[in-house]
Amino acid sequence: MPRRHLTAAAVSRIKSPTSGQVEHFDAGYPGLALRVSYGGGRSWVYFYRLHGRQRRLTLGPWPALTLEGAREAWRTARGNLSKGKEPTAPSARADAPDLFHNVVADWLKRDQGDNRSHNEVKRVLEKDALPKWRDRRIAEINRREIAELIDGIADRGAVTAARRCHAHLHRLFRWAAGRGIIELSPMAYLPKPGAEVKRKRVLSDNELRLAWAAAKQIGWPMGSAVQLLILTCARREEISALKWAEIDRADRQICLDGERTKNGEDHTIPLSHAAWDLIQAAPRLAGSKFVFTTTGNTPISGWSRAKAKIDEFMRTQLGNNVALKAWRIHDLRRTAATGMERLGVKQQVVEALLGHISGSKAGVTGIYQRHTYEEEKRTAIENWAEHVATLV
């Protein structure tokens, strides 16, 4: 444990160890040290005793917290300790780079910028983690707090959401450790709760009929988007952010490049006559690139509100004697896929419509078998549209 009278210049010249971490104590300031880790992370810490036990308080990262700032924080902590109070780290400025919300923003930009699930990752953290730790220094967040957050999500019945939040936070803290923002990830050895539950919900023909009628009642843009989802078995994000430039009018199909698909592969979705009529009826906002938009500048949002209106309509139509089983917008995709197979569409064609590269197209077979089933897809989607028409 090196001990010397530190200067700003000396602090900047301290080299990182080849492994672990080393505390460089500031002579004349008992317990104050600069902790330097092998990954390059540097933070000011204060070692003290309270109730007979030695403890450590992280004051803040260097260089955001300068030597003089660390000494001032040390004085405040010592003063609180002398009064029998638990010493605390100094309040950080809102723009301090080590605050949790600033680290999250930087991580989303640098590590998740090219991730197709970027918006979903951001939504998960904004819902559960940011409200709890927004203005906390990320180095202060410990394993117990993270476990309590994850357990709380699972305890409200959202085990899958808890597992995904765990995965996002695990990557965030690992990234922060690699960048030297924190010394070690507090999520090491923290297990995920429960097990991933694969959804199997498929709407019955009657439920699908009611969902279509509810969407018609809601109208454009959310209702029309739901109806297009039913007819195309596309993903919600593919339809909500659909651009006019992605619609091939000559071949009457949607053409998505790899940046817009989950598997990174280009994907075409043929449009039935009914789906084509929906798009033709969509009002086109001047200068907007989006098919479904209310502002002209951004795609539609508010799926939760739209879903709540659809559920309310369906419950009213079903009456008090029939309970509506919980379902999600994504279940429309599974319903369409299941319905087409029930109509006799081959599994390979359904997979091609879904844009899947698993199943029959996975592995070595997929390398050599490059048939895209374009004609079969068009026939299947038209037959499905006719089936929906008979229901509604």
pLDDT digits (tens, 9 = 90+) for 197-209: 677 899 999 999 9
Span 332-346, average pLDDT: 94
Residues 6+ apart with CB under 8 A from 188: 143
pLDDT at 300 > cutoff 50:
yes
Nearest to 329 by CA among 229, 197, 212: 229
Task: Say what the pLDDT of residue 258 is.
Answer: 83
Mean pLDDT, to the nearest integer, of 140-164? 89
Q: Delineate the domains of the chain, giving CATH numbers in brackets.
A: 3-82 (3.30.160.390), 100-178 (1.10.150), 205-391 (1.10.443.10)
pLDDT digits (tens, 9 = 90+) for 51-99: 778 888 888 888 878 899 899 989 988 888 888 777 776 665 666 788 8
Confidence of residue 217 (pLDDT cuts 50, 70, 90): very high
Q: What is the mean pLDDT of the segment spanning 334-343?
A: 95
Could you give the C-alpha distances from 90 to 76, 77, 194, in angstroms and in order?
Answer: 8, 9, 38
Please give the pLDDT value at position 316.
93
Confidence of residue 346 (pLDDT cuts 50, 70, 90): very high
CA-based end-to-end distance of the chain: 77
Mean pLDDT of 279-283: 93
Lowest model confidence (mean pLDDT) among 37-46, 121-130, 136-145, 251-260 = 37-46
**Mean pLDDT computed over 351-358:** 80
Quote the pLDDT of residue 358.
52
pLDDT score of 361: 47
pLDDT score of 197: 63
At 364, the pLDDT band (50, 70, 90 cuts) reads very low
**Could you tell me if 212 and 315 are in contact, meaning their C-beta atoms sit under 8 angstroms apart?**
no
Q: What is the pLDDT of residue 225?
A: 96
- Specify the pLDDT at position 3: 83
Asked whether residue 368 carries a pLDDT value surpassing 70, the answer given is no
What Rg do the C-alpha atoms of the chain give, in angstroms?
28
Print burial letters for 139-166: b (CB count within 10 Å at least 16), e (below 16).
bbbeeeebbebbeebbeeebbbbbbbbb
The pLDDT > 70 percentage for the chain reads 93
pLDDT, residue 200, reads 86
pLDDT at 157 over 60: yes
Short-list 191, 194, 132, CA closest to 157: 194
What pLDDT is attached to residue 1? 65
Model confidence band, residue 369 (pLDDT cutoffs 50, 70, 90): very low
The whole-number pLDDT of residue 95 equals 67
For residue range 378-391, what is the model confidence (pLDDT) as tens digits?
999 999 999 999 99
pLDDT of res. 150: 94
pLDDT at 232 over 80: yes
- Give whole-number Cα distances, 192 to 154, 196, 392, in Å: 10, 10, 43
CA 101 – CA 106 distance, rounded (Å):
9
Tell whether the model's pLDDT for residue 158 goes beyond 60. yes
Q: What is the pLDDT of residue 371?
A: 64
Q: What is the pLDDT of residues 261-274, one digit of tens each?
A: 877 788 999 999 99
Of all residues in the chain, the percent with pLDDT exceeding 90 is 55
Q: In whole numbers, what is the pLDDT of the chain averaged over residues?
A: 88
Strands 21-26 and 3-4: parallel
CB 59 within 8 A of CB 74: yes
Residue 116 has pLDDT above 90, yes or no: no
